[in-house]
Amino acid sequence: MAKILLCVSTFVFLQFLPQIKGQNLTEDMNMSTLLTKIFDGYDKKLSPNYNKAGTDRVVEVTINIYIISMFSISEIDMDFSLSMFLRERWKDERLVYDDVLNLTRLELDPSLFDSIWVPDLFIITEKFSEFHEVTVPNKMVHIYPDGTVQYSARVTGSFFCVMNLRRYPFDTQICKMEFESYGQTTKNLRFKWSNEPLTMGKGIKFPQFDLVTTETYNCDKEYFGSMSELAFPCVGLKFVLERNYAYHIIQIYVPSILIVILSWVNFWLDCTSVPGRVSLALLTVLTMTTQSSGARSNLPRVSYIKAIDVWMAACLTFVFLGLLEFAYVNVQSRVLNRRKSVIQFMRHQNGGKSPSIPSSDATNGSIYNECSDSEGSKCSPCFKTLKGLERGRAIDKVSRVVFPCTFLIFNIFYWIYYFSGTSEADNE
């Protein structure tokens, strides 16, 4: 009985085997036939609506961007870098097919990418860019039954971003990306953004900027001269970037404020402490100069004045004025010593007697004014009028108040001016 059942099963299997193989062969043949039918007589050198007239001739291309990462924004190079999926969608009626295989779309093999017409889109603001080809070309082409073509490619590059740094580091910049057709005019081609023009990957952050918002716009270009005023389709995308200035406050502004305050310590040192005051004054000036150079080392050489330039110049001025104040005080303190030396010399010449003083010299406060002969006595009223060392000490006392108050007033005007500006981007 077992042998009979085995023989019957083998017979039935052999009867249905050709049908199963034929079904697989038919599906393979249908897919191959479908692709052959689609591309039979297809000429990629012609646009999809080349045989139509008027507005029906225009091919409408919808653009969408998915940003994988934005990893660099450079002020000195005036550019920004990102990696993205550039997606385009258009309708080509020559690629319409019957979906007999119940396929949502045809996913073309990379070997067929060069077989279809693709818009000649390029990025105007591109500095340099490249397609990815590891491990295969990172491109995708899908064809839908109604002839809609979905094209996608992974692109990484750097793009121009002309920045206005007048308010640096409290600036807001607008970086643009503009997509234009190189050879097709608006009579044959039209670009537009999709309903969701831009999507971004999760976790995209910038080291110095916050992405405030993005805006899309139309930028059809008209070129004159030899181009006979032809208009080329163009769409653009704006990235509104607001600089995060916390880094600059910590690394530049706070240290420079401390250096200026350190220069005021000179006003509390005695006028006769020349080595200490000289060392402190020169140290603060040199440190401020180094700080100023470091703050501008990563910035382009522009012809206008930036906010950081105003700040560093003001701080350097305060420190330098502190050095000049010490020089003046030091001169005043040395005047009295010179006069005492002259009087002692003249007393020695007169045998210990005070020298006689001409009336004209007394009137002008000359160093020859009378001094008492008693030991340990003070100089005559002429030295009280000149007040060499006392004048220096008085100047120090005034400087202890004038310098901090002036620096405080400068800070009030500086911060109010640069934080009360309009919300518009500086390079718009």
Reported confidence tier of residue 15, pLDDT bands at 50, 70, 90: low
Domain locations along the chain:
54-244, 247-419
Equal fold, 54-244 vs 247-419: no
Answer whether residue 369 shows pLDDT above 90. Answer: no
Please tell me the predicted confidence (pLDDT) of residue 377. 42
Answer whether residue 6 shows pLDDT above 60. Answer: no
Reported confidence tier of residue 226, pLDDT bands at 50, 70, 90: low
8 Å CB contact between 277 and 327? no
Closest CA to 125 of 155, 152, 150: 155
Q: How far apart are CA 397 and CA 197, in angstroms?
A: 65
CA–CA distance from 81 to each of 85, 129, 188, 229, 230 (Å)? Answer: 14, 9, 32, 33, 31
Please tell me the predicted confidence (pLDDT) of residue 297. 85
Q: How far apart are CA 88 and CA 390, in angstroms?
A: 82
Find where tokens 């009867």 sit.
Answer: 15
CATH number of 54-244: 2.70.170.10
Q: In 75-138, where do the E strands start and end?
A: 79-91, 106-107, 121-123, 126-131
Q: How far apart are CA 66 and CA 197, in angstroms?
A: 8
Please tell me the predicted confidence (pLDDT) of residue 89. 95
Find where tokens 């039979």 sit.
Answer: 40
Reported confidence tier of residue 234, pLDDT bands at 50, 70, 90: very high
Please tell me the predicted confidence (pLDDT) of residue 341. 59
Q: How far apart are CA 180 and CA 165, in angstroms?
A: 28
Where is pLDDT greater, at 110 or 236?
A: 236
Over range 385-401, report the average pLDDT. Answer: 75
What is the tens place of the pLDDT at every residue in 241-299?
Answer: 999 999 999 999 999 999 999 999 988 887 777 788 888 888 999 999 998 888 888 88
Across all residues in the chain, what is the average pLDDT? 80
Please tell me the predicted confidence (pLDDT) of residue 39. 85
What lies within 8 Å, CB to CB, of 98 at 6+ separation is 145
CA–CA distance from 32 to each of 26, 28, 38, 146 (Å)? Answer: 10, 6, 10, 19
Please tell me the predicted confidence (pLDDT) of residue 151. 95
Reported confidence tier of residue 101, pLDDT bands at 50, 70, 90: confident
The residue type of 229 is E
Please tell me the predicted confidence (pLDDT) of residue 243. 92
What is the tens place of the pLDDT at every residue in 28-62?
Answer: 557 677 788 888 888 888 889 888 888 889 999 99
Reported confidence tier of residue 390, pLDDT bands at 50, 70, 90: confident
Where is pLDDT greater, at 39 or 367?
A: 39
Please tell me the predicted confidence (pLDDT) of residue 81. 92
What lies within 8 Å, CB to CB, of 223 at 6+ separation is 229, 230, 232
Sign of the four-CA dihedral 184, 190, 195, 198: positive
Please tell me the predicted confidence (pLDDT) of residue 332. 75
Pick the CATH number of 247-419 from 1.20.1090.10, 1.20.5.440, 1.20.58.390, 3.40.710.10: 1.20.58.390
List, in sequence order, every residue forming a beta bridge with 346; answer none if it has no partner: none
DSSP states along 225-275: GGGTTEEE-EEEEEEEEEE-THHHIIIIIHHHHHHHHHHGGGGGS-TT-HH
The residue type of 244 is N
Where is pLDDT greater, at 57 or 103?
A: 57
Highest mean pLDDT, choosing among 316-320, 356-360, 377-381: 316-320
Please tell me the predicted confidence (pLDDT) of residue 428. 61
Please tell me the predicted confidence (pLDDT) of residue 368. 38
Closest CA to 58 of 91, 25, 98: 91
Over range 142-167, report the average pLDDT. Answer: 93
